[in-house]
Amino acid sequence: MTDNINDQPEGRVPARVIGTPPSNGPILGDEIVHEEKGVPGVIPADPAVAKRAERIVALLFTITFLAGAAFIASYVIFQVGTIDRTAASNYALGSSLSIALLSLAAGIVVWVRQIMPKYNLVQERHPMASDADTKEYVEETFLQGANESGFVKHKLLRRTLLLAAAPLGLAPLVLLKDMGPLPGTALRHTVWGVPTKDGKPRRLVVEGTGQPIRAADFNSPGGILSVIPEGYEEDLNALAKATLILLKFRPDEIKSGTNLNWTHDGIVAYSKICTHVGCPAALYEQTTHHILCPCHQSTFDAADGAKVIFGPAARPLPQLPIAIDSEGYLVAKSDFNVPVGPSFWERGDAEAEAREQKA
């Protein structure tokens, strides 16, 4: 390398070693340096470059024309109606549209970069604040107007105007009141406590099939069913609170947290609505008896009264008292004794209240 340099006549700039940055090139990799140095101004494009660029731009614009035409043709040619046809239509329409747009965009960029001049124009900035004269004029005008209007002088006028505005300002808010009813005690009850038309306890039915469940049929330990109240299969408001998971245990698996009087032959019913923010908590592991909520991963021990063992939920899933009716089908003995689902301001420690009532 030194030879190389020594070969050069004195006074010439040393040649650059391959692989090193040019001495006047961008040496800071993270900065895009994009400005022509020196005098601000307009540097016209090189006519030869512009001529070559024009051909590229024309090609790109022609591609846009063709792709645009293909888009319209695709609309006519590709019908929808089955999933495969929809897929074909989507590909045809989407790719022609994408090509048309991107090609037009690229054409314009080449146009700007190669045919339009390079600019390095300078404009002055002025302070945003107005000058003193203007400020003074505006202030004077403001005061003059305020005095002319009499707003300052006439106290009664000013006060009654404010008075008049107050109810009008509230009116839009008042109008919103009828968007919904007052909550009342709605969140404290579910339809499990509502007897059927003929006064019998409400049966548990399988979600999706609507079949009532014979206790004798739900006989595989480790079994789970998503269960909803009979007669409310389509009522989303009812389901949002009353949906259950029904679990079958071996008798020796059930721990003290579960109320045995509310079970039937190892069958336990818990609210499916997570006590955190209300997602259906239904990932059930039959080996560990964990119920996991997929939204925020609160985990409940189903064998032990669904007490919380991990995650943000603060309370166990409420247990529904169940029994069988004369035909052997599972029914709800009563409503939940605590509100189901997420906490709310008026809820209070319903669990403690329930314990007190029992005692």
Partner 1 sequence: MDTTPKAIAGVSTFLDDRIGPGNFLKRNLRKIFPDHWSFLLGEIALYSFIILLLTGTFLTFWFKPSMGEVVYSGSYQPLVGVKMSEAYASALNISFDVRGGLLIRQIHHWAALLFIAGMMVHMLRVFFTGAYRKPRELNWLIGVGLLTLALLEGLTGYSLPDDLLSGAGLRITEGVMLGIPVVGTYLTFLLFGGEYPGHDVISRFFTIHILLIPGILLALISAHLVLMWVQKHTQMPGTGRTEKNVVGAPFYPTFMAKAGAFTLFTFGVIALLGTFAQINPIWLFGPYTPADISAGSQPDFYMGFLEGSLRLMPAWEINFLDHTVSLSVLIPALVPLGIVMTGLALYPFIEQWVTGDRREHHTADRPRNNPHRTAIGFSGIAFYGVLWLLGANDEISANFHISLYETTIFGRFAIFLVPAIAYVVAYRICIGLQRKDAEVLSHGVESGVIKRLPHGEYIEVHTPAAQDIADHIRGKAEIPIIESGVDGEGIPPKGARTALGRLRAKASEAYGTDHVPLEEGHGHDEHAAIGAGDHSDGHRDGH
Partner 2 sequence: MIGTGNSVNSITARRRHPLARYAVVALALGLLGGGYAVAAPGGGSADAAIASGKADDVAQGKSLFVAHCASCHGLNAEGSAKAPTLVGVGAAAVDFQVSTGRMPAADAGPQAPRKPLGEWATPQAISDLAAYVQSLGGGPTRPAAEQVDPAKGDPAKGGELFRANCIQCHNFVGAGGALTYGKYAPPLNPATPTQIYEAMATGPQAMPVFNDSTITPDQKRDMIAYITHVRSQVDPGGSGLGRIGPVTEGLVAWIVGLSLLILASIWITAKKRRTHA
User: Which residues, numbered 130-169, are part of the site for partner 1 (CB under 8 A)?
Assistant: none
Q: Does 243 bind partner 1 (CB under 8 A)?
A: yes
**What is the Cα–Cα distance from 39 to 72, expressed in whole angstroms?**
49
Choose the stretch contacting partner 1; rule: CB under 8 A; options: 138-146, 150-158, 209-217, 228-236: 228-236
- Closest approach of partner 1 to the CB of residue 179, in Å: 5
List own/partner pairs for 61-70 with CB under 8 A and 24 or more apart: 61/103, 61/104, 61/107, 63/99, 63/100, 63/103, 64/99, 64/100, 64/101, 64/103, 64/104, 64/107, 67/96, 67/97, 67/99, 67/100, 67/103, 68/96, 68/100, 70/96, 70/99, 70/100
CB 313 within 8 A of CB 302: no
What SS3 class is residue 185? coil
Q: Does 359 bind partner 1 (CB under 8 A)?
A: no
Nearer to partner 1, 254 or 276 (CB): 276
For 259, counting Cβ atoms within 10 Å of its Cβ (0-12 exposed, 13-18 middle, 19+ buried), the class is: middle
Site for partner 2 in 38-67 (CB under 8 A): none
Kindly tell me which residue out of 294, 296, 346, 355 binds partner 2, with binding defined by CB under 8 A. 294
- Which residue type sits at 261? N
Q: Does 143 bind partner 2 (CB under 8 A)?
A: no
**What is the Cα–Cα distance from 212 to 184, expressed in whole angstroms?**
32
Kindly tell me which residue out of 7, 47, 48, 83 binds partner 1, with binding defined by CB under 8 A. 83
Q: On the CB side of 328, how many CA atoms lie within 13 Å of its CA? A: 6
Q: Does 208 bind partner 2 (CB under 8 A)?
A: yes
Strand ranges (DSSP E) for 231-274? 244-248, 267-271
Site for partner 1 in 63-82 (CB under 8 A): 75, 78-82
Give every CB contact of residue 114 below 8 A, 6+ residues apart in sequence.
Answer: 45, 49, 50, 52, 53, 56
- Closest approach of partner 2 to the CB of residue 174, in Å: 39
Choose the stretch contacting partner 2; rule: CB under 8 A; options: 62-70, 85-93, 316-324, 337-345: 85-93
Nearer to partner 1, 30 or 148 (CB): 30
**What is the Cα–Cα distance from 311 to 293, expressed in whole angstroms?**
9
Q: Does 40 bind partner 1 (CB under 8 A)?
A: yes
Nearer to partner 2, 67 or 282 (CB): 282
Q: Does 205 bind partner 1 (CB under 8 A)?
A: no
Nearer to partner 1, 48 or 156 (CB): 48
Site for partner 2 in 306-335 (CB under 8 A): 310
Q: Which residues are at the interface with partner 2 (CB under 8 A)?
A: 22, 24-26, 32-36, 83-84, 86-87, 90-91, 94, 105, 109, 112-113, 118, 206-209, 211, 213-214, 217-226, 247-248, 280, 282-288, 290, 292, 294, 299, 310
